[in-house]
Chain A
Amino acid sequence: MIGGISAAHPLWWLALPVLLLPVWWHRQKRRRTRAEPLATARFLPSAPPRHMRIWRWDDVPLLLLRCLLLVALIAWLAAVALPWRGDTVFVGRDVPAAWAEQQVAQAGMAGARRMALPGDGLANEVPGNEVLPWLQSHEREWRRDARLLVLARQVAIPAQLPKLAHAVDIRIAPLTPSAGPAAAAAQTMASSPGGILAATASAGNATASAAQAAGGGALEADAPVTLPVALVSTPGRKAAWRALFAAFDAAGGGAMRHVVTELDGTEAPPRASLIVWDRAAPPPPDWQAPLWWLPPAALPLVAGVEPSAVQALRVDGLDLQVADSPRGRLWASDAWPPKEADSARTLYETWRALHFAPEAWPLAAQVIPPRRTSPLAMPDTRPDAWLAYALLALFILERLVTHVRRR
């Protein structure tokens, strides 16, 4: 790797001695002294045969073309990629513009190219989670002297900080000043869902205010993730379920909204992430969801559930029977819906812990120092497209020149 050029298959550079072949061909051969025929030469004294040893090239343009062609071919085989990116600022989608400008000016990278954070366009992806792995696999695109600045609201901390060849300056955007205290309050409330649940449970179904308060504290830029819930229950317990999901809304800090749809079991299959089937009757056969909450009486009624495959779990005093069926995972408990705040909190935490992917741990703002001299060449690197065009052009030129020389 020379000057930041990286090759995914650098072993191909070992083929460079192939260049000796055209060099060998184009070297003028050792020539004898030119002898003129002379009929009476036999009357002359004989001379030792003399050789002219000349180290000279013939057809230098053709030789150069052939060497270039071979070099291009080897470079193409070695999947050479020339770094072309300069200073770059990665700006997250949810980063306040004014703050971003301020940071860019402070870093002295006003002329640098802006790029969206990789993985930012994905819907259910937390922005900034993909930056560091993406950078590691694409780092060869940056020139050696390029500076990288990442402006994001959150960058996931990887299990191990990647060893990069460039210093990466990661700056984390602060929460907006207006939303700051409310968000902080929401954070604290979220960290202790029990308090909220106590409030919501005491207020019965009057949880709207708490949910709104939590929603107001949420960041404006964060559109809350909606979680559709299908609820099939007896009329007497519907209010309790609604109150539970309203409390869950508040406990999530407004980042997650549970959209509860009340059904009576005769409708078309709902699109729900969670189906609460609070009825001791078999659920309709075509309903499917990743998770079902059922009373234990309904559990054997679900088709495809073996009684032996039902697992009993006890999590923080919450008795659960868990089974997997073709329609999704089934949770059954006697305690549906939770009667008091503690059991609701236990259910919420168990649900978050068992059924959702863990949230990424955010990385603190820092400068990741360069820890290797050259970027890592990924084995799936494709050679640059211009190299293929150059190869084609060189091949055509070589054929033309050879043909012209032969005429």
Chain B
Amino acid sequence: MLQTPALLAHAGKLDLVIRHVLAGLGHGIHAGRERGAGVEFSEYRAYAPGDEWRRVDWKLLARADRYYVREAERDSHVAVWLWLDATASMAEPSREVAGLDKLWFARTMLACVAAIAQRQGDAFGLVVCADGRTEFTPASRGPRQLQRVLAALKAAQPAGQLPDADVLKKCLHFARAPSVVFAATDALDWPSPLSEALVRLRHMRHDVRLLSLRTRAEVNANFKSGVAYMDPESDPSGGERLHRLQGADRDAYRAALGAHFDTVTGDCRRHDIACLSAVIEDPLQEALRGWLNIVTRRPA
């Protein structure tokens, strides 16, 4: 069904895409200590849409004529934090595949990670940085949390710039428990409040994994020439700054972009942040697998 990236990008339902992407993907981001639902019974709770049917206590249904779900004790101590950069530059579309842009790719990756975390029983939360603000979805477990996070991801619109360092610093209060931070960004602003926050998180011994997104056109520098380009995140009060791309500019562009991402990679390596750069036209499964498996490649 969803074979090509374009078809995938046009699938409206994020959970459908997740199911497609996660099909055949192995379980687990990390070795969870949870052994399955209901090992250590803790409580009953009312059934909520999205709960798995096999976890419904049928005897209790027969007795009480209501659906109850057995909640088990979870002992995963790892919280998963999803960090979505939804600034204006994330609206950069693929120049090859219609309807595909960086934000879609980042959102789908994060949704897949959320689904995996939910499947493992980990708590997960979401931070969306857009238009100078952060939108914060507190970490929690369960299918309703997954729906919540998916809705928040879907509602994110690319706009504005990153929030400044103070705002980001204030929202780092979540990171008390050990957590895994999945940050999806285009990493074009590299010494940025976001990078500082990630470095800070890493120094607090969280597992930080950065996904830097690029388009195929950026990699190959094959944009149309003769068109004026403008930076979507440039300050509108300062007037539009226009940029041009002509034949000789391509190499300089490629070199500048390469140097920039080298800086990003170098910074990440220096601060021991796992960094994966992905091209949004590439298959999402592989990028996801690579993102999840970085940790195994990292020396402990």
Contacts and interface: CB of A to CB of B under 8 A. Distances in A.
A406 interface: no
B256 interface: yes
B244 A44 contact: yes
A34 B102 CA distance: 23
B242 to A, nearest CB: 5
A36 B228 contact: yes
Contact of B257 (A33, A34, A35, A43): A43
B186 interface: yes
A366 to B, nearest CB: 81
Contacts of A41: 229-231, 243
B229 A45 contact: no
Contacts of A36: 227-230
B188 A39 contact: yes
Contacts of B227: 34-36
Interface in B226-265: 227-234, 239-245, 249, 252-253, 256-257, 260
Nearest to B89: A39
Contacts of B233: 39
A340 B240 CA distance: 116
B223 interface: yes
Contacts of A40: 92, 188, 218, 253, 257
Contact of A44 (B91, B102, B249): B249
A362 B125 CA distance: 114
A35 B240 contact: yes
Interface in A29-61: 32-50
B241 A38 contact: no
Contacts of A38: 92, 223, 229-232, 243
A44 B243 contact: yes
B240 A49 contact: yes
A46 B242 contact: yes
Nearest to A46: B243
Interface string B186-230: 101000000000000000000000000000001000010001111
Given A40-B188, A50-B228, 8 more contacts: A34-B228, A39-B91, A39-B102, A39-B233, A41-B243, A42-B231, A42-B243, A45-B243
Interface of A: 32-50
17 contacts: A35-B228, A35-B229, A35-B240, A38-B92, A38-B229, A38-B243, A39-B188, A40-B92, A41-B229, A42-B188, A43-B260, A44-B243, A45-B243, A46-B241, A46-B244, A47-B242, A47-B244
